[in-house]
Amino acid sequence: MTTRVARQARIVELVTGKEIRSQTELAGLLAEDGIDVTQATLSRDLDELGAVKLRGPDGGQPVYVIPEDGSPVQGVQGGTARLSRLLGDLLVSAEGSGNLTVLRTPPGAAQFLASAIDRSAMEEVAGTIAGDDTLMVVAREPLTGGELAERLRELAAQQSNSTQDAEDSARGRAVRHDRTTPYEEQNHE
C-alpha cells in the first residue's frame, strides 16, 4: 500500500515528465509502478495537486500540467481547505520563535506540506523552507511565529474534527466539537 504523499509525488513526476492526456493513461502508468488507484482517488489527487489540462502551443490534445510550486492554484479559499486537510494528515508538531514557525512532519512529507502552504496563498505567510521532515515557515509581520503556529494547528484541528465528525455521523454517533488535536493532547498531559 502506497501513502498518499508518495502516490502524489509519483503523479507529479509522471505529469511533469510525460505528456499525459487522460486519467486512464495516468492510472496505467501508476499501475506499472505498482501503485493501484481508483479513478475517484486519482481525480482527488490531481485536484489537490492543482493539475489542469491545457493544450500545447501546437493546439493538439490537452495534457495534464501541474503549476510550479508557489503559484496560488485555487485561490485562498480552495488552497486553505486543501491545506487544512494536509495539516490534519501530516502535522506532527508546530513551534514558534520570533517570526518563524517550525513544523514537523512524518519523514518525506515536509516539502509536500511546504508546497501546500505556499500554494494556499495565506497572507500570514511570507515563505517556507523545507527539509525531509521539518519545515520553517516565515510569518509576515506583525504576526509572530507563535501566532502562526497556533493558526496552523487550528487549521489541522478543523480537518481532524471534520474527518472525525464525518466518521461519527456515518456510524450514527453524536458529533462532538470539544476535541483537542493530537498535538494539544501530547503537550497538555
Predicted confidence (pLDDT) per residue in 104-143, tens digit: 998 888 888 988 888 777 889 999 999 989 999 999 999 9
Picking from 127, 125, 115, the residue whose alpha carbon sits closest to that of residue 90 is 115
For residue 56, name the pLDDT band (cuts at 50, 70, 90). Answer: low
Question: Domain for residue 175, yes or no?
Answer: no
What is the DSSP code (8-state) at residue 158? Answer: H
Do residue 61 and residue 114 come from a single domain?
no
Do residue 26 and residue 85 come from a single domain?
no
State how many domains the chain has: 2
Residues 6+ apart with CB under 8 A from 16: 66
Q: pLDDT at position 47, please? A: 85
Do residue 49 and residue 106 come from a single domain?
no
Question: Domain for residue 22, yes or no?
Answer: yes
Do residue 85 and residue 142 come from a single domain?
yes
Per-residue pLDDT of 71-83, as tens digits, reads: 434 433 455 777 8
pTM of the predicted model as reported, rounded to 2 decimal places? 0.51
Q: pLDDT at position 121, please? A: 72
CATH number at residue 44: 1.10.10.10
Question: Domain for residue 101, yes or no?
Answer: yes
Q: Which residue's C-alpha cell is 507529479? A: 12
- Mean pLDDT of the region 24-41: 94
Q: What is the domain extent for residue 30?
A: 4-65
Do residue 50 and residue 87 come from a single domain?
no
Question: Domain for residue 128, yes or no?
Answer: yes
CATH number at residue 131: 3.30.1360.40
Q: pLDDT at position 63, please? A: 83
Q: pLDDT at position 71, please? A: 43
Q: pLDDT at position 55, please? A: 63
As beta bridge partners, residue 95 has 102
